[in-house]
Structure 1
Amino acid sequence: MQLGSLPFSPAGAGYRIAYHLHEANHCPGCGRSHWLVGRLTAECAYCATALPIRTGQTTGTGLFRSQGRPAFVPLAA
């Protein structure tokens, strides 16, 4: 297959390890299950392997969407 012949497909990229909230998670590096959980990633407390957090929803900056009205209304100062 030539490079760039097909668009990238996340479904065809294979299995991706992620940290799942409210579940038992074992580190793929050392097998232990003690994590330091942040907003976007979780890090193993023993070997410092970092995994993205899989929550099933989108979070973060830039997720504001307007629905036909201005996203930011000017202040009446």
Structure 2
Amino acid sequence: MMASIFGKRGKAYPHDPAQRGYHVAYRENQVNHCPGCGRSHWYIGRLSAECGFCGTALPLTETQTLGAGLFRPRGRRLEDFATAA
């Protein structure tokens, strides 16, 4: 017998962005206060921002999930890449 991991039918799922509420993340062009200490000095990286005082890390909302170092070719041979260039 298989059990549902989502609960009852018709219920809103927590992964629905409209239903989940505020997501703690670093937002560009806004004043971002640290959830750990309340200050607003950040070190910005490519994927996350770190508080300059307490070291709390937050994900960036404007990050891309694709890039030169983030994709992995699957099931293709090296000869296929040589002929594509």
Into which bin does the TM-score normalised by the smaller protein fall? 0.5 to 0.7
Among candidates 23, 28, 32, match of residue 21 of structure 1: 28
Q: In the alignment, what sits opposite 1:65?
A: none
- Higher Rg: 2
Q: What SS does structure 1 have at the residue aligned with 2:82?
A: coil
Structure 1 pair 39–14 and aligned structure 2 pair: CA distance change class (3 A): same
- Post-superposition CA distance 1:21-76 (Å, at most 9, x none): 23221111111111011111101011111111011x634323xxxxxxxxxx6435
Structure of greater relative contact order (alpha carbons < 8 Å, 6+ residues apart): 1
* Aligned residue pairs, count: 67
Sequence identity of aligned pairs in percent? Answer: 42
Q: Which of the two has greater helix per residue?
A: 2
TM-score, normalised to structure 1, is 0.62
Q: Can you give the 5+ residue segments of structure 1 that lack an aligned partner in the other structure?
A: 63-72
Q: Say which structure is richer in strand.
A: 1
Matched, 1:9 2:6: no
**Which structure 2 segments of 5+ residues have no match?**
72-79
TM-score, normalised to structure 2's length? 0.58
> Residue 9 and residue 32 in structure 1: after superposition, are their counterparts in 2 closer, same or farther (change >3 A)?
same
